[in-house]
A and B are shown apart, each in its own frame.
Chain A
Amino acid sequence: MGTLTIGCFPSIVGNMGYDFALKLADAAVSKGHKVSIWFSGNATVSVKAHQKHLKDYSTAEKYLQALLAKGVEICTCEACTVARGIQKTEGIEGIQWNAMHWYLAKIHAADRVLQIGGE
């Protein structure tokens, strides 16, 4: 089995790239691959807990929790996140907070890297 690292930069709402990243991660981990996800840029807003899933909007929390339960490592860029007014205490439990070198370290360990850009 392989190791997949996904860098995810788009926001949860307004760009289906984010939705694709989570679905791909789920497919990969379900096949037995080791998966890690790095959130940067606007993707970091998705780590805030207590999201209300309105049917007109994509949501992240329940999918992120499911991925965490399956062993996917998820980390958000701390600088990008706090710059958007989200504090660590408000974040979804189990998601790591770190700096950009976390992503590079996961790239180092990865067989494949998928960089999903933002806007």
Chain B
Amino acid sequence: MGDVKCAFIVQKPQYKGETSRLAITHAIAYQTVEILLEDGDTVTPKLCFIGEGVLGLQKGQNAMDVYGITSTESHVKNCLLVDLNVLVCKEDLDKYGISEDSLPDADDMGADMKIQVVPFSEIQKVLDESQHVLFF
């Protein structure tokens, strides 16, 4: 069957509910899914944050001290470390006054990937090219 492309669309703010975080952890699971697939089969997720989903992504989070849980920031950095495509809608960042500079990177972990701040038209392309679209 080869590769199956999936779009994980996060529309809810981080920390408000659980599912916006579960979108991230489920997407990261693409790293280990091959143990359950036939040789040559893969799942390629793209993690897209749109609407209110762009809230709670900024760097400098202190969730472990405040809530006793790992932060969304650390999850996003792990995504970048495992070469997961992370796209954030530029129009929605602008709407909420969030600068691109405030988003985390994983340079300190040695990641090559960066968060991609893109116009919604690019996210629309991800929706079009994906076999399955999952809204969180």
Contacts and interface: CB of A to CB of B under 8 A. Distances in A.
A113 B132 contact: yes
Give the interface SS of chain B, mostly helix, strand, loop or mixed: mixed
Interface stretch (B31-39, B55-63, B113-121): B31-39
A57 to B, nearest CB: 21
Interface string A39-51: 0111000000000
B4 A99 contact: no
Interface in B27-63: 28-30, 32-33, 35-37, 41, 43, 45
Contacts of B33: 101, 104-105, 108
A81 to B, nearest CB: 13
Nearest to A115: B134
Contacts of B45: 104
Nearest to B29: A100
Interface residues of A, number: 22
A103 to B, nearest CB: 6
Give the interface SS of chain A, mostly helix, strand, loop or mixed: helix
Interface residues of B, number: 24
A22 interface: no
B19 interface: yes
Contacts, number: 64
A9 interface: yes
Given A40-B22, A100-B26, A101-B36, A108 B134 contact: no
Interface string A98-117: 01111111011110010101
Given A104-B33, A108-B33, A118-B22, 20 more contacts: A7-B134, A40-B22, A40-B26, A100-B28, A101-B30, A101-B32, A101-B36, A103-B29, A104-B26, A104-B29, A104-B43, A105-B36, A105-B37, A107-B43, A108-B1, A108-B37, A113-B132, A113-B134, A115-B136, A117-B135
